[in-house]
């Protein structure tokens, strides 16, 4: 089983207007909402690829009920801890002449509620995959990912970590199967400008030396490169099409890579499917659907 963890899921409320003007009442041209959270995004794309997963994390209040109901309607299994207080957050995405976002803090998570989640993590078995995605809410300890990984340490579990800075680096001792920093995140981790192919390779190899088994470095419009544990570097192609949305593209790439590797055990194909999923989401108003993913996969050749 693949488990995705989203500690602070959300409903992303997207509003479209020609121009946003501060200090007055602005009226939208249209709006829509999506169930949000990096781990949830991974589960959604896996579902489009006919790969089952279970979404873990926390939900609260009426928005939490909407998140769980929405996943159920998409055929995605979830096993969230229901918090006693607060509501799952609503994030506002303003798409106007300039794009802006308001990301909310989310509900309080108590120690005993965190213990419930850790207990569920303890049920992970050999052969499973665990995806830790996104930031840590302010109401839980900074070492939460490390605590989770200590629980499953020693088991034959594929660990995927999609996080930034110390949150990512501190997980490397647990030898994650996959991490996915982008060029900017490499620069932040190593305090260098990861502009050249040589510098990107040097940074990725250092992350592998510290424990990562496979490293995907996403390069935006230039595609992505996978530094794999077989000693090879794989490059993804690029597709030229109008970008409609960048939210969830990285999560989609992670999901595609996991699915591709599950299906074939081939790193090159896994990266190709990951790139197809990431691009397909970028070319869609929300997360990509199956049709768009395989359309882009064919374009990648």
What is the rounded CA–CA span in Å between residue 120 and residue 123? 5
Write down the pLDDT at residue 187.
87
Asked if 126 is an active-site residue, the reply is no
Mean pLDDT per 10-residue run, the chain (301 residues)?
96 93 95 92 97 97 97 95 96 90 93 96 95 90 93 94 91 96 89 83 95 92 91 90 86 97 96 96 92 94 77
pLDDT attached to residue 54: 97
Catalytic residue among 111, 251, 266, 289: 251
Pairing of β 89-95 and β 53-59: unpaired
Name the residue among 189, 134, 121 with its Cα closest to residue 161: 134
pTM: 0.93
pLDDT of residue 194: 75
Query: By the 8 A CB rule, do 136 and 105 touch?
Result: no
Q: How many CB atoms lie within 10 A of CB 291?
A: 10
What's the pLDDT at 80? 97
Query: What residues have CB less than 8 Å from 133, skipping those under 6 apart?
Result: 4, 5, 6, 37, 38, 39, 41, 42, 160, 161, 162, 163, 251, 254
Give burial (CB, 10 Å; 0-12/13-18/19+) of 201: middle
């Amino acid at each position: 089983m693949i488990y995705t963890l989203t500690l602070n899921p959300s409903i992303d409320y997207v509003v479209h207007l020609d121009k946003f003007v501060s200090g007055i009442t602005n009226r939208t041209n249209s709006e829509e909402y999506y169930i949000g959270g990096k781990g949830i995004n991974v589960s959604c794309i896996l579902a489009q690829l006919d790969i089952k997963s279970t979404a873990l994390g926390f939900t609260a209040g009426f928005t939490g009920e909407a998140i769980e109901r929405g996943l159920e309607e998409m055929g995605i299994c979830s096993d969230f801890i229901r918090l006693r207080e607060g509501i799952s957050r609503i994030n506002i995405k303003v798409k106007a002449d300039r794009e802006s976002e308001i990301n909310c803090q989310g509900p309080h998570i108590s120690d005993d509620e965190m213990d419930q989640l850790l207990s569920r993590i303890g049920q992970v078995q050999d052969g499973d995959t665990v995806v830790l995605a996104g930031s840590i809410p302010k109401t839980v300890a900074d070492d939460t990912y490390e605590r989770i990984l200590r629980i499953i340490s020693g088991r034959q579990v594929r660990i995927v970590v999609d996080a930034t800075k110390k949150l990512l680096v501190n997980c490397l001792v647990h030898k994650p199967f996959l991490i996915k920093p982008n060029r900017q995140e490499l620069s932040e981790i190593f305090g260098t400008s990861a502009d050249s192919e040589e510098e990107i390779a040097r940074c990725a190899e250092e992350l592998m030396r510290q424990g990562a088994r496979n490293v995907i470095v996403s390069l935006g419009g230039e595609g992505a490169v996978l530094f794999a544990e077989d000693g090879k570097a794989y490059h993804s192609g690029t597709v030229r099409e109008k970008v409609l949305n960048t939210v969830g593209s990285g999560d989609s790439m992670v999901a595609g890579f996991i699915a591709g590797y599950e299906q074939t055990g081939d790193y090159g194909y896994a990266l190709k499917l990951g790139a197809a999923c990431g691009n397909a989401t970028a070319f869609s108003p929300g997360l990509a659907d199956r049709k768009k993913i395989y359309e882009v996969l064919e374009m990648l050749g």
